[in-house]
Amino acid sequence: MSRLKRVIENNKGITLIEILISITILGVVLAIATSMIIQTFNIVPSGTRRMSAKQMAEMHVTEIARYVRNANPDDIGEDEIDGILEYDGDVIEIIESDRIFNNIMEFDINDEGNNDYRITLKKEYEGDEGEVTTVVSPRNQ
């Protein structure tokens, strides 16, 4: 018991240097943790916009593929289906349904041979872009 009493009496507390060192170490750790958290939150919105652009492009390609499947192969040309779909460099207009797709960066319908057509659509959404490609065969061959 007397040994414990002597240790307690000799303990005068912590020094100013020890406090400053521990505050400095804590500050460095908090700065690193904060920068990692902020960086994570900055990545998420960009990925969300890119995913939204790709999903919108997929919806547009799905609707356009339906018209390609039902079109006559003679009516399908690059960037259009005669009398059904027109593309002017930024807007795709589906004439039969009065549908208009905006912010289209790139759109192509290419003949792959064997009555297959490759549809490529690149869409921009809030600064990010998504691209979708699919191959479609017309039913009316």
99-134 confidence digits (pLDDT tens):
788 878 888 888 887 878 888 888 888 878 888 888
Specify whether the CB–CB gap between 133 and 119 falls below 8 A.
yes
What's this model's pTM, rounded to 2 decimal places? Answer: 0.60
* Long-range residue pairs from 36-41, CB within 8 A, at least 24 positions apart, any chain: none
Residue found by looking up tokens 């041979």 in the block: 113
**Residue pLDDT, tens place only, 43-74:** 767 778 888 888 888 888 888 888 888 877 77
